[in-house]
Structure 1
Amino acid sequence: MLRSNGGVKARDGGLGALTNLSANAKPAPTHLKAHRMDEKRKHPRTEVNQPGYVSSGGSVMHCVIINISPEGAAIDVENPAFVPHRFRLVLANDSSVVHECRVIWTKKNRIGVSFVVTA
C-alpha cells in the first residue's frame, strides 16, 4: 500500500519500502558541492581575476575573468541580462586572445561559459 505523508512517500511492509526523503534531506556541505562540480570538469580552473571584454555584434562590455581553463571560464559582469547566449571573450591584457563562448549558467552577476571550438 502506498501512502503519502506531507511529501514523504512510503510503501508499507517488506524489503521493497519506497521512501522519498526530500522532507528530511539536508543540503550537502559547501565543500562537497564544489568538489562534485569540479569532478565534471576535464581541466581544473585557474583563478586569474583579470579584466576582459564580452564582444558581440559590434557591442563591447567590460567583465572580470574570475577563472579560466582550456574549456571554459567564469566571468563577472555588471548586468548579465545584456550578455548574449553566444559571444567572444577578449582578454584586456592581450587582445589577441579571443575565445568564442556559449553561456552555460548564470548566478547573480557571474556567468559560466564553455569555449566553442570553431572549425
Structure 2
Amino acid sequence: MIEKRAAQRHRVFKGGTITFENSGIACTVRNISASGAAIDLDGPVMLPQSFTLSISRDHFIRNCRTVWRSDKRVGLAFVQ
C-alpha cells in the first residue's frame, strides 16, 4: 500500500471537540500528525466545510477540513 500522507501519523486515543457555528460535538482523536488527524464520532454528523478541532488536555486547537469519511471515522486536514 502506498502512503499518501504528507506527515507520519501517530496513534492516540484522546477526547476532543469539534466546534462550528457556536456548537460543540465530542469526538475521539484516533491518530494525529502535523498535517491532519483521524477522529471517531458517536454518530452521523453533517460537518461544515471548515471547523475547529480542540484537545483540551493538550491545549491543542486547529482549524480543519474533512478529507475523507468512512462510517463514523473522519479524516481531517489542518488548514492555516
Q: When the two structures are superposed, what TM-score results if normalisation uses the length of structure 1?
A: 0.63
CA distance in 1, matches of 2:27, 2:45: 13
Aligned length: 80
Query: What residue in structure 1 maps to residue 12 of structure 2?
Result: 48
CA distance in 2, matches of 1:87, 1:43: 21
Q: Supply the RMSD in Å over aligned alpha carbons.
A: 1.2
Identity, % of aligned positions = 35
CA distance in 2, matches of 1:80, 1:100: 21
1:74 maps to a residue whose letter is: A
Secondary structure of the equivalent of 2:67?
A: strand
1:79 CA drift (Å): 2.4
Greater radius of gyration (CA)? 1
Higher RCO (CA < 8 A, seq sep 6+): 2
CA distance in 2, matches of 1:80, 1:92: 23
Secondary structure of the equivalent of 1:79?
A: coil
CA distance in 1, matches of 2:63, 2:39: 14
Residue range with higher mean Cα deviation, 100-109 or 75-84:
75-84
Secondary structure of the equivalent of 1:80?
A: coil
Write out the 4+ residue segments of structure 1 that deviate beyond 3 Å after TM superposition: none
1:78 CA drift (Å): 1.4
CA distance in 2, matches of 1:80, 1:70: 26
Q: When the two structures are superposed, what TM-score results if normalisation uses the length of structure 2?
A: 0.91
1:80 CA drift (Å): 3.5
1:108 maps to a residue whose letter is: D
1:114 and 2:57 matched:
no
2:34 maps to a residue whose letter is: P
Post-superposition Cα deviations, 1:16-45, rounded to whole Å, max 9, x if no partner, equal xxxxxxxxxxxxxxxxxxx32xx2112110
Query: What residue in structure 1 maps to residue 27 of structure 2?
Result: 63
